[in-house]
Each structure stands twice: as structure tokens, then as C-alpha cells.
Structure 1
């Protein structure tokens, strides 16, 4: 396991995020460092093995916890005011700037997992992103879901989250196997954004007043698995259509082609599925 530097990132509003920098382990390193932006409710530790592997391929890699999640939760979860909009408007920009400062690079490559790849359109310093590789990246629109998730999501969004907001003060996702429990506004926005096509576009003109989707020209590649119940073909297309001036590409992986029974929404970053890592890296270096 490669060594990493643990430190804190200070956002524009003064909020402190917990981060790790994995320095490149090769003499020759890639020009652009990698910023790993996590999925909803997933901590930076989840990406540790993958980040270590990337730095062995010659990349500087930064991964962090979004505010309200993991080590970036300060105080009681029920009192957290973190939101998905803040993740895009404050957390990702601060992480981009910090990675550039630490590596002296001109731009970063944003490797977003699920929600981590959905927010570039509201990131103010989007021009510092050279390309996006969105793993399991989609809008998560409820009508585009499939399988067990198609049944669970409406229950979670319309019943569990609204009730828990007032009884617990947070979104109880851990109990249903969907990562860390969520700050109440993250849970509320997740339900709101997935209820209609376009994800964060549903906040434009309401809680978001700076929309950069039309401005973005960095190439965007979405990688997803055919057995993913959230990032389905329809929902991946729904995400990429939001960036009309970017070159976009969709790459569907079939578990059987790589010797796996399943990949789903979460397993691409697991050691058990590390034969998929070169597939991801090929898009990073393309």
C-alpha cells in the first residue's frame, strides 16, 4: 500500500475537508493529477486501494470526504447543514485548487464516482478540469432505475427521508446498505434531484444561480456496468446531455467479459475487481 499525506482542505466558506494525497510512485509522472470525487455517502477510505494503484501508474492522486461525510463531518450529524449543492459549489472547487497547488499542474482530471461525477456544471472553477471520467456516472432519475433499486428509491425518497428528517435529523442510508448516513439537506436534495431528469439542473434558479453546463468543453467519459441499477443507459444519457458543448462518450462494461458475476454501482473500485482498473486508467490517459 502506497503512503499518503493526510491533510485538511479549507473551502471558500471556511469549512474544513479531510483529504489524502497519494504522490506518484514513478520517475516519470503524468502531467495531470487525478481528483477522486466520491459517491454520495462514501468516504475517501473506500478509494484507498485504487488511489494507491493509480499513483503506482504515475499519477498524483487526491481523494477527500465531502462535507458532512466521514472525517469531514464536524459535530453531530443531525446538526450538519451540508448539502449536495455545497459539494459542487464549494468542496470540489477547493479540492481542485488544493491539488493544483500541491502538484504545480495546470489542470486536473476529475474522476467522479456517481454523485462525484454529476456536479461539474455548478463548479465555479470548471476550466481547471482537463477531462472528466464519470464512473457509474448518471443522473439517477427514478424512472430510469431498474431492479431492487427501482422499488427502494421511491420508498426512501418519499417516505424514509422526509420522516427521518424530523425524527432523526438525518437520512438513514446506512441501515439500508447505501453508505454513510446523510446530512438531512443532502438527503432532501438527493430525493429532489433524482425525482426529475437532469439531477442538479433541478436546483438551477432555486438554490443554484450560476449554471456552467453550457460552458464546459472538457471531454466527459461515462463508464458504467450493464448490471448497475442506478447508472442505467437511460440515466447515463440523461447526464451527458447536460453538457452540449463537451465531447462525450459512453462505455458500458459487461461483468461476464471481465470474469465477474456482477459489478453494479460500487464494485469498480474494489480490489476484487482490480482487473477493471486498467480500463478506467485507459480513459484517464486517453
Structure 2
């Protein structure tokens, strides 16, 4: 089991890795190595959120004896190049090119370690697509504040947020050639294909990204991995219903569902990491060893 390693592991500096992609793009990764053989948690962020934002959360996970890596999505944070009108990548390319390249690089640095995929928001949606094609390479999936953007899974008038919001973003991206979120203050600068894929899912609820001939929905439905899905209070972008709807796409998976009612919001859980990091640490111990490690309670309520 993973035990607390002491302050040094939680406070140690991150390795800065660069993962080269076939088209010349480079992904930036922050890696906090764990003890030899310790589980490795690979964190994939929300749109527009850089890997460095998760430093405090990574430290909390490291305090549970885990290795941690946080990835800058293509074009975000320290990854290069920035998207412009020539960018043509979307959900499919990230799930089939970017995710495999990063996992391959990290497995080389943590040989023999069980590997867990942690997806925040769109990072979890893409993570399920990756896992559908690579289930044997993962010991489990962690979804934090990650739900489907399908508008029908949102309560009341809040359904207009994903429906109209992503549609407007896709329209701007078509006109400009990319989504200028760095100027507009939301979701970062993004490929128009990626934003269009997001908007399509918000309208239809379907995993049908541009350029893909893969049946992602069937692959996700066939997943038999253990999954921990965590929602938090005051999260308008991934409310509990949207998280539940994403989990429902995995009827064969071993899904553990938790909700933290504390109003942490869509990103606040990463800056106040105790409850969610504690939940993850205990769940990983239970998943790998069949019994929980004694420790402070994280405040989660099991709902399934």
C-alpha cells in the first residue's frame, strides 16, 4: 500500500519533461517521482488550465506516497506551439496521439508502477477515449469535476451554459480560425476543431469527434477498469448530473461515485486539495490492496 512518505516527497521539486509529438508539437509535463514502485497518477487538466495550477494538489497526492505527473494539454501552459488558424487537432488526436505519447514517456520513468489516469473536466472526457483503446495500460481512472458537457444532463436553465456557450465558442473559432480564449479570459487559446468537437458533444452527448473512425462509445461502454468519479459543490461546469451521465456511459466499469458538498467549484478543489486528494489516496490503496489505509477522513459521501 502507499503510505505517507513525509514532507520531503510532498515538497520536492518537479521534473520538467518535454514530450515530442510526430508533427513537431511538444507537450510539457511536470513530474513528481514517487518511491520506487509507487502508484503513478497522471493528471490531465481542464481547457485553459496550466499544469502548474495543480502543484498544491500534486503535493497533497505526493503526501499519500504517490508519484504524480501533470500535463499541459497541447498548446496550453508550456506546451508548444500555441494554436492558430493552422491547428487542426481535436478530441481524436489528443486521445490517440498526445495521451499515448505522455504515458509511454512516464512509464519509462516509473517502471513497474501501477498507472492511474486522472482527468479534470475535458481531461476526463479525453481520458475515457484513451482508456477505451488502452485499457491494459491503466490500473484505474480518476474523474474529478469531469462530466459530459451534454446540455440535457444539466439542471434547469443551467443547461443553456453548455448548449449556448460551446456553440458560441465554436462560432467564434470558425470565424477567427481558432478560439482566442487567452484574450477573452475563458478556456485558453484552442484549436477550432477541438472547440467544435466539444460543442458537438454538448449538443448531442455523443463521442463523435472529427476525423475519427473509432467507435469510442462502444469502447467506453466495454471498459472494465475501476473508476472513481468525484463531483464537488458549486460546480456549474460539471454538476453532479453531468458526472453521473458520464459514468453511465461505462456500465461494465467498477464505478465508485463520490460527492463533496463543500462549495469548491470547478477548479477550487485543486487549491484546497485535502478532501479530494485524501479520497483518491484511500481509493487507490483500496483498489490495489483490497483494504483501505487508515487515515483522516476526506469528507466524501459515497453515493454508489
TM-score, normalised via structure 1 length:
0.84
Query: What is the SS of the residue equivalent to 2:188?
Result: coil
> Contact (CA 8 Å) 2:37, 2:112: kept in 1 or not?
no
1:197 has 2:198 as partner: no
Which of the numbers 99, 121, 131 marks the counterpart of 1:114?
Answer: 121
Query: What is the SS of the residue equivalent to 1:35?
Result: strand
Shift of the alpha carbon at 1:269? Answer: 0.5
> Contact (CA 8 Å) 1:38, 1:113: kept in 2 or not?
yes
In the other structure, the counterpart of 2:135 is 126
Q: Output the CA distance in 1 between the equivalents of 2:95 and 2:266.
A: 21
1:156 has 2:165 as partner: yes
Residue by residue, what CA displacement relative to the aligned partner does 1:63-118 show, whole Å, maximum 9, x if unpaired? Answer: 11111222223155333233122121111112221111101025311111111112
> Contact (CA 8 Å) 2:140, 2:225: kept in 1 or not?
yes
Of stretches 33-42 and 274-283 in structure 1, the one that deviates more from structure 2 is 274-283
Q: Which blocks of at least 5 consecutive residues in structure 1 are unaligned?
A: 256-261
1:17 has 2:18 as partner: no
In the other structure, the counterpart of 2:290 is none
Alignment of 1:79-158 (within 5 A): 79-123=86-130, 124-146=133-155, 150-158=159-167
Q: Output the CA distance in 1 between the equivalents of 2:198 and 2:83.
A: 20
Query: What is the SS of the residue equivalent to 1:8?
Result: strand
In the other structure, the counterpart of 1:267 is 268
> Contact (CA 8 Å) 1:43, 1:70: kept in 2 or not?
yes
In the other structure, the counterpart of 2:12 is 2
Residue by residue, what CA displacement relative to the aligned partner does 1:39-86 show, whole Å, maximum 9, x if unpaired? Answer: 122211111121123223221111111112222231553332331221
What is the aligned length?
Answer: 272
Q: Output the CA distance in 1 between the equivalents of 2:23 and 2:68.
A: 24
Q: Output the CA distance in 1 between the equivalents of 2:180 and 2:25.
A: 24
> Contact (CA 8 Å) 1:134, 1:221: kept in 2 or not?
yes
Q: Output the CA distance in 2 between the equivalents of 1:178 and 1:284.
A: 33
In the other structure, the counterpart of 1:248 is 255
Alignment of 1:161-180 (within 5 A): 161-166=170-175, 168-174=176-182, 177-180=185-188
Shift of the alpha carbon at 1:18? Answer: 1.0
Query: What is the SS of the residue equivalent to 2:27?
Result: strand
Query: What is the SS of the residue equivalent to 2:112?
Result: coil
In the other structure, the counterpart of 1:282 is 282
TM-score, normalised via structure 2 length:
0.79
Q: Output the CA distance in 2 between the equivalents of 1:169 and 1:186.
A: 12
Query: What is the SS of the residue equivalent to 1:71?
Result: coil
Structure 1 residues 160 and 137: CA distance shift in structure 2, 3 A: closer
CA RMSD, 1 decimal: 2.5
Structure 1 residues 20 and 193: CA distance shift in structure 2, 3 A: same
Residue by residue, what CA displacement relative to the aligned partner does 1:146-179 show, whole Å, maximum 9, x if unpaired? Answer: 488544433322334313421x322234566533
Structure 1 residues 283 and 74: CA distance shift in structure 2, 3 A: same
Q: Which blocks of at least 5 consecutive residues in structure 2 are unaligned?
A: 1-10, 287-304
Shift of the alpha carbon at 1:224? Answer: 0.1
Query: What is the SS of the residue equivalent to 2:89?
Result: coil
> Contact (CA 8 Å) 1:9, 1:19: kept in 2 or not?
yes
> Contact (CA 8 Å) 2:117, 2:142: kept in 1 or not?
yes
Query: What is the SS of the residue equivalent to 2:31?
Result: strand
